[in-house]
Chain A
Amino acid sequence: MVETIVFYTLSALILGLGVAVITTPNTVHSVLFLVMNFLCVAVIYVVLEAEFLAVIQVLVYAGGIVVLYLFVVMLVNLKRDPEAHQDPRRLSLVGLALAGAVLLELAGIVVYSYSREPSAPVAAAAASPVQGNVEQIGWLLYTDYLIPFEVASVLLLVAMVGAIVLAKREL
């Protein structure tokens, strides 16, 4: 009962803060709303008893990534007015298609996670020889999900090279 109340309160907060992020005219305020949003998501992780994810959410998202966002906000010239286009809705179709694709993807995830064995990863974690939140994440990550883990390092490498190429303008 308490969990349900907490969950819906947090969900309302997260949605409201998300709307605030995209509607605030001041970009820096929008980033600050995003921090609050990330912190609320961290609390949802705590409610789900995923403490490791909650700590990472605060450390990496609310800490590191928001700083990155702020630097990017500071990089662009905010004083210049947005360019006026003949047709302000010229990208509305593309936007609609992308939003529809994301909606489909989310719906697919919900349907898929309801249809399959409800607790397959949970069972796998329970069968692991280790106890505890971080330990079980580690066990699954470094045995069953070995390939995604190594691919993540390639992804990080690409991100690093991409950032350097963007900033230095040379390969």
Chain B
Amino acid sequence: MPDAYIPVMLFVLVAIGFAIFTLIISGLVQSSRYNKVKLEPYECGIEPDTDARGRYSVRYYLIAMLFVIFDVETVFMFPWAVIMDELALFGLIEMLVFLFILVLGYVYAWRKGALDWV
């Protein structure tokens, strides 16, 4: 493994260590007197009236799915963008074909109203 990752590893270790250290210290010094308000997700804020595990609208799924698809599309463009000069016109046409197929899907999503938030 390249040595360049040793700082990253140290960073991760410090982050994990800090979290564990904080939990242990606060566990040692805290007083534990429970009441109902303390167990609520927000002590000051809108009071929850239903369970957090209620059912969500299917719209969220649709938006998340479209996000992932365009996310992947963008990922494909990164390696292309860094070597655009070497690939020249061939690469440009290639990417235009790729984008054209996805724009078809985009137009379909648009016309079906999948992007609207009614």
Cβ proximity bits B38-66 to A, threshold 8 Å, 1 near / 0 not: 00000000000001011110111110111
Is there contact, CB below 8 Å, between B79 and A74? Answer: no
Determine the interface band of chain A, counting residues with CB < 8 A from chain B.
35 or more
Q: Taking chain A's interface residues, is the majority helix, strand, or loop, or is none over half, making it mixed?
A: helix
Complex: A74 Cα to B2 Cα, angstroms = 41
For the side of the interface on B, what is the size category? 35 or more
Interface segment out of the listed A44-52, A86-94, A98-106? A44-52
Q: Which residues of B contact A71 (CB under 8 A)?
A: 56, 60-61, 64
List residues of chain B with CB within 8 A of the CB of A52: 78-79
Contact string against A for B residues 1-25, beta-carbon threshold 8 Å, 1 for contact and 0 otherwise:
1100100000000000000000000
Q: Which residues of B have CB within 8 Å of A161?
A: 105, 108
Asked if A75 contacts B94 (CB within 8 A), the reply is: no
Would you list 13 pairs from A and B whose C-beta atoms are within 8 A, ordered by A residue?
A46-B5, A64-B67, A65-B68, A67-B64, A68-B65, A129-B86, A138-B83, A139-B83, A141-B79, A141-B80, A142-B83, A153-B73, A156-B72
